[in-house]
Amino acid sequence: MSVQLELGPMLRGAVEHVCPLQPVTGAVPAVRRRVAAVLAGWKVSREIVEDSLLVVSELLTNALVHALPPAELRLSWAREAGAGTLRVEVTDAGPAREAGQPPAGVDPDEHGRGEQIVHALATRHGMRVHSGGVTRWADLVAP
């Protein structure tokens, strides 16, 4: 679902898309395809579409592997003075296990790179802990 938003001055006239994440096999690729279609509809700059799909994948995978359900993806796209900012947010219900406790069946050598990928691709990124869980976000800015 896409809606017009009236947010602060930075995001005035932004559009938003919200998508729940089902904890099932194939959820991440299905949401990636949905995101690609949404970004195409919004005419998001090609310069950031591929990077944003990777960021979406990493944040969603993190929510599925490390957090309690439910999880939700929220995208917002705003154009201001010729530049565009895409915000990717994934909210989950909080950690599924105590810190330092690896998830079952995850190879430790293949674990932990997603956060580094998000940091490398995003212009800004962060995390908010709130009463509903945890929201991880990343902004990608296009010329």
Each residue of 79-129: pLDDT tens digit?
877 789 999 999 999 988 765 555 555 555 555 677 899 999 999 999 999
Give the Cα separation of 98 and 96 in Å (integer): 7
Give the Cα separation of 96 and 46 in Å (integer): 35
Domain ranges of the chain: 2-142
Q: Tokens representing 116?
A: 């580094």
Give the Cα separation of 117 and 130 in Å (integer): 24
Give the Cα separation of 123 and 48 in Å (integer): 11
Give pTM, 2 decimals: 0.81
Domain 2-142 CATH assignment equals 3.10.150.10? no
